Amino acid sequence: LNNSGWSYEELLPLFKKAENMTDPEVLADPDFDKYHGRSGYITLESYDYKAETDFIPIFKKAMNEIGYNYYPDINAKHKRGLFKLHATLRNKRRCSSAKAYLSSGQNRYNLFISTHSLVTKVITHDNKALGV
């Protein structure tokens, strides 16, 4: 679509800045820093597949037999195979954007949250929103 500012190369740094990847298998990847961040507010973990302990190894073996390898990171360089899924979880519980961002700033003196409010103007400077 040629929408300026929305390419993979332009958005990846923003996703990395927001992300806190915690999966040990992904963290161990030498290419980790190319695809992920570890100091953002949005925590990513893998699902707990312990309930499917019998199924997962059988499925991995079956996929391997037909030529598909297992990769721990769906966002890295491999685009075809069996991947571990990650989600916005913190301690195996859903971590919404509200939980991730609002809890970290709820005691800020300069933050006022107004629900059900109509915004008529956004105050900006140098392409940054400063207020409403």
Per the domain annotation, does 119 fall within a domain?
Answer: yes
Q: Which long-range contacts (CB under 8 A, 24 or more apart) does 22-28 make?
A: 23/72, 23/73, 23/84, 23/86, 25/72, 25/73, 25/84, 26/72, 26/73, 26/76, 26/86
Nearest to 87 by CA among 48, 124, 128: 48
Per the domain annotation, does 18 fall within a domain?
Answer: yes
- What confidence tens digit (pLDDT) does each residue in 74-109 have? 888 888 998 888 999 998 889 888 888 887 777 888
> What is the tally of structural domains in the chain?
1
Averaged over 58-70, what is the pLDDT? 93
Per the domain annotation, does 124 fall within a domain?
Answer: yes
Per the domain annotation, does 1 fall within a domain?
Answer: no
Largest CA distance in the chain: 59
What domain range includes position 29? 8-131
Per the domain annotation, does 3 fall within a domain?
Answer: no
Per the domain annotation, does 2 fall within a domain?
Answer: no
Tell me the pTM. 0.72
pLDDT grade for 112, boundaries at 50, 70 and 90: confident
